[in-house]
Chain A
Amino acid sequence: KAGVTQTPRYLIKTRGQQVTLSCSPISGHRSVSWYQQTPGQGLQFLFEYFSETQRNKGNFPGRFSGRQFSNSRSEMNVSTLELGDSALYLCASSLAGTSGEKILGETQYFGPGTRLLVL
Chain B
Amino acid sequence: AQKVTQAQTEISVVEKEDVTLDCVYETRDTTYYLFWYKQPPSGELVFLIRRNSFDEQNEISGRYSWNFQKSTSSFNFTITASQVVDSAVYFCALSVGAGGFKTIFGAGTRLFVKA
A: residues with CB less than 8 A from B are: 33, 42-43, 45, 55-56, 58, 88, 90, 92, 101-102, 104-105, 107-113, 115
Contact = CB atoms under 8 A, between A and B. Distances in A.
A111 B100 contact: no
Given A104-B31, A105-B33, A45 B44 contact: no
Interface residues of B, number: 28
Contact of B108 (A42, A107, A110): A42
Contacts of B44: 110-113
B35 to A, nearest CB: 8
Contacts of B103: 33, 45, 108
8 nearest A-B pairs in the assembled complex, by CB-CB distance: A105-B33, A110-B45, A43-B105, A112-B44, A113-B43, A42-B107, A104-B101, A56-B100
A62 B97 CA distance: 24
A88 B43 contact: yes
